[in-house]
Amino acid sequence: MNIQDTQSGIGLIEVMVALLLLAVAVLGFSAMQMSAIKATDESLMRTRSLAIMRGGAETMRTNPSGIAAFKTAINGSSDTVSVDSKSITKDSCLTSGNTAPAASASCTIDQLATRDGLLLKSYASANDINIGMVPNGCPGTSGNQELQCFVASWGDTTVGLSDTEAKACANANGSYKNGAECFIMEAY
């Protein structure tokens, strides 16, 4: 007696199930890869903003008398600020033929601080970062030395601390808002 096997290969349904399982695995890997790329981008923006804000803090330390002018320049919306009847830009206060600041020759301390603030703001903007300073110092801090707060934001997040503005970086008390893409740094 001759028994013949009716199955002689892989059926179409089995192939379709295998392809479906492979597609689900590839989609899961793709989603994981997109999440990793987003985390890497966030880390890069935080690193850039931290470097910019540290530069701003060092600039403030070199010219403590000009902190108010520096803060006004960073928080302003213009690329030109009038200080002591002189229009200051990020390229002002430089000696001709040399990029070193001429502290006493051509600019006052407030003019130099304004130039430094505009230069920092320009550099941040070139790196797709918005930068500002909290007008009245850091919230929730007290002591003998007033701390200054830098705020850097990117994406849809705006620079600022507000309880009412939905896209602000943080609440008025300094706590970050959910989903905000920003970084706050204290400087003294």
43 φ, ψ (degrees, to nearest 5): -65, -40
**Lowest-confidence segment of 6-10, 60-64, 154-158 by average pLDDT:** 6-10
pLDDT of residue 1: 60
Closest CA to 76 of 90, 95, 92: 90
pLDDT band for 6, please (50, 70, 90 cuts): low
Mean pLDDT value across residues 135-140: 80
23 φ, ψ (degrees, to nearest 5): -65, -40
Model pTM above 0.85:
no
Q: What is the dihedral of CA 136, 139, 143, 146, to 10 degrees?
A: -30
In the chain, DSSP assigns E strands to 81-83, 86-88, 130-133, 148-153, 158-161, 168-170, 182-187
* Domain map (residue ranges) of the chain: 62-94+101-126, 128-187
pLDDT of residue 77: 87
Closest CA to 153 of 126, 178, 124, 174: 124
Mean pLDDT value across residues 94-104: 51
